[in-house]
Amino acid sequence: MSEREVREGLFGQLARIGKAISNPKRIELLDILGQGERSVESLATVTNMTVGNTSSHLQVLRGARMVETRKVGTKVIYSLADERVACFVRELWTLADARLAEVEQLIREYLQGEETLERVTKEELVARSLSGDVFIIDVRPAEEYAAGHIPGATSVPFDELSDHLSRLPADLDIVAYCRGPHCVFAPKAAQILRQHGLRAMVLEDGMPEWRQGGLPVSTVSS
């Protein structure tokens, strides 16, 4: 085999990854699986796709060795192949931030100018959590909270936020977090809480960054 053939073969393997993430729905699936494993049916619901389309996209990702499967009864459960895939998705976001102004524009338009919300670092949240002067809410879907959450955080799914307003403390700073720095659940939740007179801010990162930082993670036993 010649040097040129080797190089073309190697770059061809890299192109498998590029082809696998060439569809926005497949990137979304990787982003969601960064929160924890899920069934095909669950992924279909959260991405607003049919089970058939979801399964097809997952098969492409599996072909590129980016996701893995296991069986639980009749259900097929998908997870990221390893932590490097989560890091890859995170770096993809970083590149998009740096090169695509449309990323910030889309978020700013959705939040209607509330991008100035106070943000808390992981280190600050750990310190404040230990001192007991902060109330942490996880606004991701309950399934993602169960798979892994910040110790002491209360599950308040964004879609159910209005049902929890009367039970949230008015005498503590409330820190909301979600899937990551580009997830709009947390800033939108903080915006709503502030409109109801509560002291709200957001974690600058999300659950994947918390986990990748080696910080403790709690789960809910099934």
The active-site residue out of 178, 186, 201, 202 is 178
Q: In what order do the strands lie in the sheet with 38-39?
A: 38-39, 75-80, 67-72
Distances (CA, A) of 3 to 6, 13, 16, 144: 5, 15, 20, 47
Catalytic annotation present for 178: yes
Residue 115 CB neighbour total at 10 angstroms: 12
* 214 CB-contact burial (10 Å; exposed 0-12 / middle 13-18 / buried 19+): exposed
Q: Kindly tell me the sign of the dihedral angle through the C-alpha atoms of 74, 23, 95, 102.
A: negative
Query: Looking at residue 116, what DSSP letter applies?
Result: G
Query: Exposure pattern of 35-55 as b/e (b: 16+ CB <10 Å)?
Result: bbbbbbebbbebbebeeeebb
Measured distance CA(53)–CA(133) in Å, rounded: 46
| Amino acid found at 124 | E
Measured distance CA(29)–CA(64) in Å, rounded: 14
As annotated, the active-site residues are: 178
